[in-house]
Amino acid sequence: MQVKNVKAEFSFSADKMRKVNLFETERMFADIYCLDPGQEQKRHSHEGADKIYYVLEGTGRFHIGGVEADLGPNQIVLAPADVEHGVRNETSDRVVLLVFMAPNPNKK
């Protein structure tokens, strides 16, 4: 059985936001994104692929389709295909996000 403890996968990098892959198939992936204070995922978009962010820890400042919001634990947000999105840790605490994406843009 392909099981992981998400908290045990938390891993940070001094130079940039760290992505840790949990599962990947031909059709989707699940990652965690670990952001130290000041780190970000720059705004970008994916042609024909949707992304979901679920906040595990901390508060991220999200930009999705020109709208900005600070989202914390228990909040989940959809970045639909082709819509510009990004997230930045503007706080002094760590931010960890559970991220799902489909289809898997690495498998095109």
Return residues touching a second copy (CB under 8 A).
1-8, 22-23, 25, 27-28, 30, 48-50, 52, 54, 62, 64-65, 67, 69, 71, 74-78, 80-81, 98, 100, 102-103
CA gap 104, 88 in Å, rounded = 23
> How distant is the alpha carbon of residue 40 from its chain centre?
10
Q: Which is nearer to a second copy, 16 or 23 (CB)?
A: 23
Cα four-point dihedral sign 52, 69, 96, 33: positive
Closest distance between a second copy and the C-beta of residue 7, in Å?
5
Q: Residue 101 forms beta bridges with which residues?
A: 29, 51
Least CB distance from residue 87 to a second copy, whole Å?
Answer: 12
Task: Give the integer Cα–Cα distance in Å for 89 and 12.
Answer: 13
Contact 83, 52 (CB under 8 A): no
Q: Which is nearer to a second copy, 17 or 101 (CB)?
A: 101
Q: How far is the CB of 76 from a second copy (least distance, A)?
A: 5
Minimum CB separation of residue 34 from a second copy in Å reads 15
